[in-house]
Amino acid sequence: MNGTEHDDPVDVVAHAIAAMERPLLLVFDCDGVLAPLTDHADDSVLTDGVGPALDRLSKTADVRVAVLSGRSLDGLAQFDFSDSIIVAGSYGGERRGRSIQALTTEERALLSELDAIAVEAAKQAGPGAWVERKPTSVVIHVREADAELGSDALEMARSASASLDGHECHEGSNVLEFMARPADKGRGLLGLIADIDPGGTAYFGDDVPDEDAFAVLGTSDVSVKVGDGASVAGQRLPTPDAVAQLIDRLCGLLDADSEFVLSEE
């Protein structure tokens, strides 16, 4: 469904999703999509009403709901997503209910070197910078640091890592992540699609790593950029509050009988 400048973007996205072939796979990034961004990840909470609405949506016939985040599974645990929701952390490298493959000797050594670079970068960025450690990666956060020092520190870390082989870098808003075991949102989303084999897929993301997920979707799928900034996504919602409205609207729209849904296409 193509909208105009006068259309409510929540309605545009809701009807685009309802028009897709079922079963549906609806995949959401977490921070900046289901939860407003905060300076520190530990302070993040879901937008009001999102938890129960996602639970309801995930129990709708022919609909699967997943969260695909750069956070680790441990980092996602604070949101207490219901068991009916697929939860994938570390860009899909971790999946709730599945054991992660242990790092190889080479991966452990690489992660140690990347960790040392991250620690030095956080030190250079100064107060407010911190290092997050995940099972297969290490992350430098500078959102709370001095803007210029933080930017310089991330550039230093990026340059220092260039001499190492076998890893990948992911850049976000005031964040740089080094992956000792390469993964990205595109590969993570493709893994979910392979497991579910949906008729249609929708993905919601707000940051640079989400562009990898948007890029793997087909022309009959729905890609939704949340917030400002350039994106290859075909649809856009302004804020996490709009995502919350969208989820609530989908609960009613997708619960409707198939004849009603077809009439909306």
- Containing 95, the helix (H) or strand (E) segment is strand 94-95
- Domain final position from 179, 200, 226: 179
pLDDT at 171 over 50: yes
For residue 216, which of 238, 195, 192, 180 has the smallest C-alpha distance? Answer: 192
Amino acid 158 reads R
3-class DSSP string for 138-175: EEEECCCCCHHHHHHHHHHHHHHHCCCCCCEEEEECCE
Kindly report the length of the chain.
265
C-alpha Rg value of the chain to the nearest Å: 19
Are 117 and 157 in contact by the 8 Å Cβ rule? The answer is yes
Q: Same domain, yes or no, for 190 and 229?
A: yes
Q: Are residues 141 and 192 in the same domain?
A: no
Pick the last residue of a domain from 163, 179, 195. 179
Q: What's the pLDDT tens digit per position in 100-158? A: 999 999 999 999 999 999 999 999 999 999 999 999 999 999 999 999 999 999 999 99
Q: Rounded to an integer, what distance in angstroms lies between the CA atom of residue 164 and that of residue 143?
A: 26
The domain containing residue 167 runs over which residues? 105-179
188 & 95 share domain: yes
Place 256 in a pLDDT band, splitting at 50, 70 and 90: low
CATH number at residue 204: 3.40.50.1000
Are 244 and 251 within 8 A, CB to CB?
Answer: no
State yes or no: pLDDT of 181 exceeds 60.
yes
Residue 2 lies in a domain: no
Same domain, 34 and 145: no
In 3D, which of 168, 154, 148, 167 has the Cα closest to residue 122? 154
Output DSSP code: residue 121. H
Residues 144 and 163 in one domain: yes
Same domain assignment for residues 95 and 188: yes
- Pair 190, 162 in one domain: no
Rounded to whole angstroms, how far apart are CA atoms 14 and 64?
A: 16
Percentage of the chain modeled with pLDDT above 70: 94
> Has this prediction a pTM greater than 0.85?
yes
Q: Is residue 78 part of a domain?
A: yes
pLDDT digits (tens, 9 = 90+) for 201-246: 999 999 999 999 999 999 999 999 999 999 999 999 999 999 999 9
How many folded domains does the chain comprise? 2
The DSSP line for 239-256 is SHHHHHHHHHHHHHHHHS
Q: Say which residue the tokens 């076998």 belong to.
A: 166
